[in-house]
Amino acid sequence: MSNFAVNLLNNLTPPAVCVLCGADSQHEALCQPCLTSLPWLPALHCPRCALPTLDGGLCGNCMNEQPHFDSTHAAFLYHGVLAQLIPAAKFGARWSLLPALAKLMQPGLAQFARPDLLIPLPLHAQRLKERGFNQALEIARPLARNLRLQLETNLLQRTRDTEHQARLSEKARLRNMRKAFVASGDLSGQHIALVDDVMTTGASLDAAARALKQAGAARVDCWVLARTP
Ligand SMILES: [Zn+2]
Ligand SMILES: [Zn+2]
């Protein structure tokens, strides 16, 4: 079977068995025991960037330098089995895992104020061409549908490719990142939720939030599957 056909089947057929252990999962991606064993984000975490903290207060990074986004909701910590599942979804053509994982974000999102717009963090055109899809969009799409939120994919553009900038000095990297995103249109007073798969340092989400606020956004929240601890 061609790769294309395999991908199509992957996306059309709900898995009959748990992707982790192979047990009967009632046509969900994961069985109940595997769901319970996922590295769910601890209740005590920084309200701004979701980094686990001892008392649930702001983390040191956010205290030192306030990010441009206002809060972060992450369903999981990025380690253990999540650090296998997300790359498998992203690079191994198991796209169907992304909406399945996105569904697990929904209960936690109920406690957050509803945004006016849902914006997936855009990939640079070159990355999109290489990968064939934007993982952030594959997460944002089902969230928008299930939570009845407006999905916007044209307001925010990634104008610089910042994924492969290892050769640059840290200073140059930061400068590059700061100019990586451009928001178009008037976003005055808008409350926006930025969607991505993983928040690592938060630098790209911060740069995107900065661009959205420059265009007038009143509030930017990050909605990510997982936070790197
Ligand atoms: Zn299982
Ligand atoms: Zn923080």
**Domain range spanning residue 31?**
1-37
| Nearest ligand to the C-alpha atom of residue 64 | 2
CA of 71 to the centre of ligand 1 (A): 32
Q: Report the alpha-carbon distance of residue 162 to residue 174 in Å, rounded.
A: 10
**Strand 191-199 with 150-151, pairing:** unpaired
Number of structural domains found in the chain:
2
Say whether pLDDT at 11 is over 60: no
Say whether pLDDT at 1 is over 50: no
CA of 108 to the centre of ligand 2 (A): 18
Supply 83's token pair. Answer: 């650090």
CA of 198 to the centre of ligand 1 (A): 22
The reply to whether 30 and 63 lie within a common domain is no
Q: Report the alpha-carbon distance of residue 69 to residue 59 in Å, rounded.
A: 14
Q: What is the pLDDT of residue 52?
A: 97
Residue 143 vs residue 169, higher pLDDT: 143
The reply to whether 29 and 123 lie within a common domain is no
Q: Report the alpha-carbon distance of residue 19 to residue 199 in Å, rounded.
A: 23
Q: What is the pLDDT of residue 217?
A: 98
The reply to whether 81 and 29 lie within a common domain is no
Say whether pLDDT at 13 is over 60: no
CA of 92 to the centre of ligand 2 (A): 31
Q: Report the alpha-carbon distance of residue 213 to residue 207 in Å, rounded.
A: 10
Q: Report the alpha-carbon distance of residue 111 to residue 105 in Å, rounded.
A: 11
The reply to whether 27 and 48 lie within a common domain is no
The reply to whether 200 and 174 lie within a common domain is yes
The reply to whether 49 and 29 lie within a common domain is no
Q: What is the pLDDT of residue 7?
A: 53
Q: What is the pLDDT of residue 161?
A: 79
CA of 77 to the centre of ligand 2 (A): 14
Contacts 24+ apart (CB under 8 A), 22-28: 28/100
The reply to whether 131 and 222 lie within a common domain is yes
pTM of the model: 0.88
CA of 223 to the centre of ligand 2 (A): 14
The reply to whether 121 and 184 lie within a common domain is yes
